Amino acid sequence: MKHATTQRRSSQLAVLAVSALFAASAAAAPLVCTDAVSANVAVPQNTWVNIDANCPVGYSATGGGYVFNEGSGGVIGIWAMSIPNGNGWRTWVVQHNPGVRHVQTYVRCCRTP
């Protein structure tokens, strides 16, 4: 009987230890986030352009993308690829329409308080 009581006590302590670990994680402060945005860059016809947005010091990039300021992203004749770039985000874009199109890259930057 003593063995069963000791085993039960060990199980209870293990459950308490795991519960305390999860409680400490849940009590952690939420992230502090901000967005960084590139300049509104003019992309001339038939020219590849890199457009970068970078996080401020102390923040880490968590995601990003781009926006065509003249309308939706579904514009014929424009090709864009958006990827992480160091501690920021990069958009590579080329457009095959006459004139210029304007594009901005954005990055979501977060840190723990």
- Residue 37 and residue 10 share a domain: no
Name the residue range of residue 7's domain: 1-28
Over the stretch 69-83, which tens digit does the pLDDT of each residue have? 776 556 778 889 999
Q: How many domains does the chain have?
A: 2
- Residue 18 and residue 47 share a domain: no
Position 99 confidence tier, pLDDT thresholds 50, 70, 90: confident
- Residue 88 and residue 60 share a domain: yes
- Residue 73 and residue 102 share a domain: yes
CATH number of the domain where residue 86 is located: 2.60.40
- Residue 62 and residue 8 share a domain: no
Q: What is the 3-state secondary structure (H, E, C) of the chain?
A: CHHHHHHHHHHHHHHHHHHHHHHHHHCCCCCEEEEEECCCEEEEECCCEEEEEECCCCCEEEEEEEEECCCCCCCCCEEEEEEEECCEEEEEEEECCCCEEEEEEEEEEEECC
pTM of the model: 0.69
- Residue 24 and residue 37 share a domain: no
The answer to whether residues 66 and 40 touch, using CB atoms and an 8 Å cutoff, is no
- Residue 12 and residue 45 share a domain: no
Over the stretch 44-64, which tens digit does the pLDDT of each residue have? 999 999 999 999 999 999 999
Arithmetic mean of pLDDT, 7-30: 50
The answer to whether residues 41 and 94 touch, using CB atoms and an 8 Å cutoff, is no
- Residue 36 and residue 23 share a domain: no
